[in-house]
Chains A and B, each alone.
Chain A
Amino acid sequence: MIRLSHVYKSYPNGALALKDVSFRVNRGEFVFLTGHSGAGKSTILKLLFAEQKPTTGEVRVSGYNVSTLRVDEIPKLRRRLGVVFQDFRLLEDRTAAENVAFALEVTGGRGDTIAARVTRVLSQVGLAAKSRAYPRELSGGEQQRVAIARALVNDPAILVADEPTGNLDERATRGVFQLLRDINAGGTVIVMATHDLDLVRQAAYRTIELRDGGVVFDSVVDESDAAETAGAE
């Protein structure tokens, strides 16, 4: 589903964000990306949804090669991904249901099926009763659930989450994490960047730790990647 091979990313100011990162994520996996701020977690996620391109190396996501992706192909890739952020990124002047429907409307979803799909996905995240509430009327955990519902409504194969519990209290964190686990149980690949080690310890999911832009630990070492890295050296 996802494959990074010898990825380097440097910024115009010369800073090196990623150094020779290689890993592969298979169907059905739940992967934590951990590390301190600036370790490169967010950069990897940005590569996954083609917000950025690698300087060198190859990034493959759901059959698309991000390194060589044309501008008009980016939307196609993004429709196969769901993305969730720490700050929710909801539209304040739209209700929960409208925020979710927005993702369908702007990607050309059929008008007559939108309402049903929105209701289904809001039920899935446990917010069916609050579909008409505006973001300001919802708690942080509820807002993140709306954001997750929006990410799910296009039935993505992969859900990318950048510190999704970073702004939430402990209880809301547990709730959102459980929701992500349920979504993963349904077959969706989840790549979640977090620095909440308690959360990482709660579940026996694969963990990739980054430091200064390089992978320093991977709880599941893919043999083909290991061989590739050895070969390169």
Chain B
Amino acid sequence: MRLLAREALLSFRRAPLLSALSVTTIAFSLFTLGLFGLVAINLRQELRGLEERVEIVAFILRGTPAETTTLASQDIAAFPEVQEVGFVTEAQALARARAELVEFKDAYRDLQVNPLPASIEVRLKEGYRDAATVESVAQRLRGFEFVDDVRFGREWVEKLDHLRNITGVVGLVIGLAFAGVAVVIIGVTIRLTLLQRAREISIMRLVGATNWFIRGPFLLEGALKGLLGGLVSVALCYAAYLLFRDWGGGTFAGLIFFRPEHLLFIVLFGVLLGLVGSLVSVGRHLRNV
């Protein structure tokens, strides 16, 4: 075991430039991946904020008794998708319109009769704010006799859906591409080390070292490089995060950073990439010796 660690560490000392190069390339691959991850989690955070504003409004026919709407509100609140149900009276609707629609202030002030209907406002639980669920809840609301019309900004909800899907796909594709690049780079650097140490390996085989014994130091070396690369990339990601948060003049003040389990994942992913890269490279080389 000591020999294994010594041999793995020795390769760093024998070829410091090459080792630094591989650690750097892994770090930058993971850094790019990490940056994308940061964008993704922040985008998701923002989307969640937008999603919270997804609201279904059911306008109520004039003259509907208050008890009817109260009972109906209770029924609606019991829908599994529904997080919150609010009731807005005609007077409240007018007051809100006066406050929010300043440009029509004069028009609302001179009104003799309140033209705005009362409404039931429905917010959905997280995870149910997609176009299909919104539509299905709206459909059920339309089923109530006292409901005149239901609005929920269909286009808006559909766009949100679309955006969510695109981020997911783009993230996956870019992530996989970078993981592939990292594996190739690690494979190449390990292969260079292998060629550099071909003589040593041939002697190891000659005196009866097992293949796993020969592979061991290279796998450990790959894993170590992956670990170092992962740690460096996490540091770079944090630096980039701080830079954006403090530099954006408040625009990015709300940026969030990875949770500890995300960071652990990035570092472990680096280790995994290092292992896979060296395993592929060593496997191919040992067949050829």
Residues of chain A whose beta carbon lies under 8 Å from any beta carbon of chain B: 49, 71-72, 74-79, 83, 89, 91, 93, 102-103, 105-108, 111, 150, 154
27 pairs of residues in contact across A and B, judged by CB atoms under 8 Å? A49-B206, A72-B210, A74-B208, A75-B205, A75-B209, A76-B208, A78-B205, A78-B206, A78-B207, A78-B208, A79-B207, A83-B207, A89-B206, A91-B199, A91-B200, A93-B14, A102-B204, A103-B203, A106-B3, A106-B204, A106-B207, A106-B208, A106-B209, A106-B213, A107-B208, A107-B209, A154-B208
The residues of A that contact B205 with a CB separation of less than 8 Å are: 75, 78
The residues of B that contact A108 with a CB separation of less than 8 Å are: 213
> B211 an interface residue at 8 Å Cβ cutoff?
yes
In the complex the two chains form, is A89's CB within 8 Å of B207's CB? no
Q: Which residue among B205, B209, B211 has the maximum number of chain A CB atoms within 10 Å of its CB?
A: B209
Which of chain B's residues has its CB closest to A82's CB? B207
> B83 an interface residue at 8 Å Cβ cutoff?
no
- Given B3, B202, B210, B214, which contacts A105 in the complex, CB threshold below 8 Å? B3
The residues of A that contact B2 with a CB separation of less than 8 Å are: 111
Interface majority SS (helix, strand, loop, mixed), chain A: helix
In the complex the two chains form, is B199's CB within 8 Å of A107's CB? no
Closest Cβ of chain A to B195, distance in Å, is: 15
The residues of B that contact A79 with a CB separation of less than 8 Å are: 207-208
Q: Which residue among B204, B205, B208, B209 has the maximum number of chain A CB atoms within 10 Å of its CB?
A: B208
Given A89-B202, A91-B199, A91-B200, also A150-B207 (CB < 8 A): yes
The residues of B that contact A78 with a CB separation of less than 8 Å are: 205-208
The residues of B that contact A76 with a CB separation of less than 8 Å are: 208
In the complex the two chains form, is A83's CB within 8 Å of B209's CB? no
In the complex the two chains form, is A154's CB within 8 Å of B207's CB? yes
List 17 extra interface pairs beyond A75-B205, A89-B206, A102-B204, CB under 8 A: A71-B211, A75-B208, A75-B211, A77-B208, A83-B206, A89-B199, A89-B203, A91-B199, A91-B200, A105-B3, A106-B204, A106-B209, A106-B214, A107-B207, A107-B209, A108-B213, A111-B2
Given A89-B199, A89-B202, also A103-B210 (CB < 8 A): no
Q: How far is the CA of A217 from the CA of B189 in the complex (A)?
A: 51
In the complex the two chains form, is B203's CB within 8 Å of A91's CB? yes
Which of chain B's residues has its CB closest to A108's CB? B213
The residues of A that contact B14 with a CB separation of less than 8 Å are: 93
Which of chain B's residues has its CB closest to A153's CB? B207
Q: How far is the CA of A74 from the CA of B2 in the complex (A)?
A: 24
In the complex the two chains form, is B203's CB within 8 Å of A75's CB? no
The residues of A that contact B213 with a CB separation of less than 8 Å are: 106, 108
**Nearest 7 CB-CB pairings of A with B:** A78-B208, A79-B208, A106-B209, A103-B207, A75-B208, A75-B210, A106-B204
**Which B residues from 187 to 233 make CB contacts under 8 A with A?**
199-200, 202-211, 213-214
Closest Cβ of chain A to B201, distance in Å, is: 10
Q: How far is the CA of A77 from the CA of B204 in the complex (A)?
A: 14
Q: How far is the CA of A184 from the CA of B158 in the complex (A)?
A: 87
Which of chain A's residues has its CB closest to B14's CB? A93
The residues of A that contact B203 with a CB separation of less than 8 Å are: 89, 91, 102-103
Q: Which residue among B3, B14, B206 has the maximum number of chain A CB atoms within 10 Å of its CB?
A: B206
Q: How far is the CA of A70 from the CA of B199 in the complex (A)?
A: 24
The residues of B that contact A150 with a CB separation of less than 8 Å are: 207
Q: How far is the CA of A110 from the CA of B277 in the complex (A)?
A: 32
Closest Cβ of chain A to B262, distance in Å, is: 40
Closest Cβ of chain A to B94, distance in Å, is: 86
The residues of A that contact B200 with a CB separation of less than 8 Å are: 91
Q: How far is the CA of A28 from the CA of B140 in the complex (A)?
A: 97
Which of chain B's residues has its CB closest to A77's CB? B208
Which of chain A's residues has its CB closest to B287's CB? A71
Q: How far is the CA of A90 from the CA of B3 in the complex (A)?
A: 19
